[in-house]
């Protein structure tokens, strides 16, 4: 049996930088959450078709792991992947909540790709794997590189590791599911014209602790927070002072003080 952890992430800051080719561009600090992760296992099993257990509420065609499986098959000229998954099933143990701004689906897809690359000896470079992952989801390259902290920009395909002292985070995820597409749609309709790159100049050079202390306003730090509040007004009732908003929601976080 083969196994890998798929960690959650938080966005220390997330700023929209523009709109190009039908997609929003951004710059953001992604930080891996060490103590929150899904687990993916490849378990011996005679399977007629590619089989995933543990996410029955998601149609197979919509599952990011299945999309990663198809992308790897299309990329590889060998039959090693198909043969392997005729003798193994994918078992997902889910701990990261969905539609919570923690990147669970993207992390699952990236971890799956990394593990397949290893067990099937595909010899795909990390850069190539990240580029392949970017065709499935914007957050996947960050999870492919598996950095503890990184500045992510462009459509999500530019991932630059950021060296900073590790820190622990506390998460609060209310029972509110935020659809990323809807949050971006609200941002595009009402807030895109207000983008001003000079207001966050140099943020990518500051360590996360310093930035959160200096700015301390979740609305300023995350451009998607106002559009998430507009799209899901119930977030207004559960937000807490001193907590920050991750991604497109609905998770709030703060740094644990040692």
CATH class of 1-258: alpha beta
Which candidate in 38, 108, 139, 223 is catalytic?
Answer: 139
Which tens digit of pLDDT belongs to each residue from 193-235?
999 999 999 999 999 999 999 999 999 999 999 999 999 999 9
Please spell the DSSP secondary structure of 49-116, one letter per residue.
S--EES-TTS-GGG-HHHHHHHHHHHH-SSSHHHHHTTSEEEEEE--SPTTSSS-HHHHHHHHHHHHH
Given a cut of 80, whether residue 1 has pLDDT beyond it is no
Residue 258: its pLDDT value, please? Answer: 66
Which candidate in 9, 15, 67, 89 is catalytic?
Answer: 9
Tell me the average pLDDT of the chain. Answer: 96
108 is catalytic: no
Domain positions in the chain? 1-258
241 is catalytic: no
Residue 257: its pLDDT value, please? Answer: 82
Which tens digit of pLDDT belongs to each residue from 147-199?
999 999 999 999 999 999 999 999 999 999 999 999 999 999 999 999 999 99
Which tens digit of pLDDT belongs to each residue from 46-91?
999 999 999 878 889 999 999 999 999 999 877 899 999 999 999 9
């Amino acid at each position: 049996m083969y196994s890998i952890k798929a960690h959650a992430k938080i966005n220390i800051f997330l700023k929209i930088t523009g709109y190009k080719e039908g997609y929003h561009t951004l710059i953001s600090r992604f930080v891996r959450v060490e103590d929150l992760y899904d687990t993916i296992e490849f378990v011996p099993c005679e399977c007629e078709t590619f089989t995933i257990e543990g996410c029955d509420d998601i149609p197979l065609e919509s599952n990011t792991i299945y999309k990663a499986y198809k992308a790897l098959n299309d990329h590889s000229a060998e039959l090693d992947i198909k043969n392997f998954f005729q003798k193994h099933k994918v078992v997902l143990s889910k701990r990261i909540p969905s539609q919570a701004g923690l990147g669970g689906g993207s992390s699952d897809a990236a971890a799956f790709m990394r593990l397949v690359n290893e067990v099937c000896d595909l010899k795909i470079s990390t850069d190539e794997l990240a580029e392949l992952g970017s065709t499935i989801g914007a957050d996947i390259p960050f999870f492919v590189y598996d950095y503890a902290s990184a500045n992510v920009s462009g459509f999500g395909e530019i991932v630059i590791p950021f060296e900073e002292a590790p820190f622990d985070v506390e998460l609060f995820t209310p029972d509110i599911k935020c659809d990323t597409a809807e949050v971006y749609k609200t941002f595009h309709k009402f807030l895109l014209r207000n983008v001003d790159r000079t207001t966050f100049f140099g943020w990518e050079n500051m360590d996360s602790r310093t930035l959160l202390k200096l700015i301390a306003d979740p609305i300023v730090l995350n451009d998607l927070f106002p559009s998430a509040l507009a799209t899901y007004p119930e977030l207004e009732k559960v937000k807490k002072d001193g907590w920050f908003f991750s991604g497109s929601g609905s998770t709030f976080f703060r740094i644990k003080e040692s």
